[in-house]
Amino acid sequence: MAPAKPREDTRPEQAMRVADFLDLHPGSTQKEIDAACDTGCISKVLSDMPRVDLYGMGYGIARGWREVPCADGMHTRNVRTYTLLHRPEAQPGLFDQAD
């Protein structure tokens, strides 16, 4: 389960909660992530997570599809899923060794 939501909720903190959840539950849907992490607008958080130009972001997120039943099981529909590939580097290239 994701950690408790802080009082002043910033996008990097939301992204960290989503990443923690996706570590435990890869292949989750937006609905599942939002129910567990309470981000307010999960689509905004998921679209910002891969962006390296935003502070605290730079997550690797894989997108996939899952078929779910609908119409009382008479039909199926595809739902987007998300899997965490990697977390952002704190300072990329800061301690690179010269050869």
Contacts 24+ apart (CB under 8 A), 30-34: 30/80, 30/82, 31/79, 33/82
pLDDT at position 40 is 87
* Beta bridge pairs of residue 65: 80
Domains of the chain: 11-86 (1.10.10.10)
Give the number of other CB atoms < 10 A from CB of residue 69.
10
Average pLDDT, the chain: 87
Residue 90 — very low, low, confident or very high, per pLDDT cuts 50/70/90? low
CA 20/CA 28 separation, integer angstroms: 12
- On the question of pLDDT at 34 being above 80, the answer is yes
- On the question of pLDDT at 37 being above 80, the answer is yes
